[in-house]
Amino acid sequence: MWKIQVNTTLEAAEAVAEALERALGAAAVIETRPGHARARVAAYPGRRLAGWKRTQRALREAIQQIAACGLDVGRARIQRRLLRKEDWAESWKRHFRALRIGRALLIRPSWSRARPRPGQVEVVLDPGLSFGTGHHPTTEWCLRELVRLRKTGQPQAFLDIGTGSGILAIAAAKLGYAPVAAFDVDPQAVRVARANARNNGLARAVRIFQADLSALARRPPRGYELVCANLTAPLLLAERRRIAAHLKTRGALVLAGILQSEFPSVIRAYGELGLRLVRARVRGEWQSGTFLRAAGGGRPAAANV
């Protein structure tokens, strides 16, 4: 496979991309970097590049015409490179490596040769159609809090709201939380999560079901010592009473999926329900936190919000 690239400016990138597509008969990709005025425009023709000098000349003429129209094309250097043959269907797997969460937990894809160290439990989970491999900073935070908050030898019930791939529920069951329940509004996510639980030998240890958070009862029949909700901030705010209602007195609530700019409003909203922020972490644009319900706080009363 060939890669044909033109280094140009942001101003001219789209016009150069159209010129590449016309000359090569292949879709072009524009690569940019935040804060930079330059851009790389590339196309990957899958055929042999017969008549390269003619094609190169046509590209130069097209770029000159773009410049004549008043766009700054910069130096607009044209590069050609032959990419080595590779099994593209397999090469993407390099981006998903094993993830160790302290000394307690190993998350790995099925093709990884990583093995658990003494005392580590193992979750085998391949990337798929549902969110959650452990590598995103919000999921990783939830996993680390699962490990940190586990009280060995004590019963702890766990609920995962918006389970996605089921990674948090599976990890919780492996770490000894019980009972473990998880739900998602997306039926595809529920199917994936159930399959992942079966693949980890936890079909009966984890209850995974489809449910819409906004349709749940405001007074659930039971509470949990630990609740994780890796959702968007608007949903966390809109359904805060339903989320908090699942938490037992002295329980911990782990919230993630929140942009740093949105986090103060989450602190205020959950603080009004008697939940106090005790730990938080910022990774890039994301901020996650763990909240505790004080003794005597009880569950929030049903109310319209």
Pseudo-torsion of CA 210, 211, 212, 214, nearest 10°?
Answer: -160
HSE, CB side, 13 Å, CA atoms: give it for residue 84: 2
Q: Which two tokens stand for residue 42?
A: 């590339």
Q: Is the pLDDT of residue 304 over 50?
A: no
More confident residue, 56 or 163: 163
Report the pLDDT averaged over residues 201-208: 97
Instruction: Compare 209 and 296 and report the one with higher pLDDT.
Output: 209
Q: What is the mean pLDDT of residues 187-204?
A: 95
Is the pLDDT at 55 greater than 50? The verdict is yes
Q: Where are the domains of the chain?
A: 2-85, 137-293
Q: Mean pLDDT across the chain, nearest whole number? A: 88
- Distance between CA atoms of 107 and 122, rounded to whole angstroms? 6
DSSP per residue, 8-27: EETTTHHHHHHHHHHHHSS-
> Does residue 226 have a pLDDT over 80?
yes
What confidence tens digit (pLDDT) does each residue in 133-155 have?
788 899 999 999 999 999 999 99
Confidence of residue 305 (pLDDT cuts 50, 70, 90): very low
Q: Is the pLDDT assigned to residue 75 strictly greater than 80?
A: yes
Residues of the chain with pLDDT > 70, as a percent, come to 90
pTM: 0.70
pLDDT value of residue 299: 47
pLDDT on residue 86: 61
What is residue 127's predicted lDDT score, i.e. its pLDDT? 78
pLDDT of residue 22: 87
Mean pLDDT of 179-208: 96
Angle (CA) 121 122 123, round 5°: 135
The conformation of residue 189, written as its DSSP 8-state character, comes to H
Out of 3.40.50.720, 3.40.50.300, 3.40.630.30, 3.40.50.150, the CATH code matching 137-293 is 3.40.50.150
Q: What is the pLDDT of residue 167?
A: 96
DSSP 300: P
More confident residue, 66 or 1: 66
- Give the domain 2-85 fold: Alpha-Beta Plaits (3.30.70)
Q: What was the pLDDT predicted at 171?
A: 97
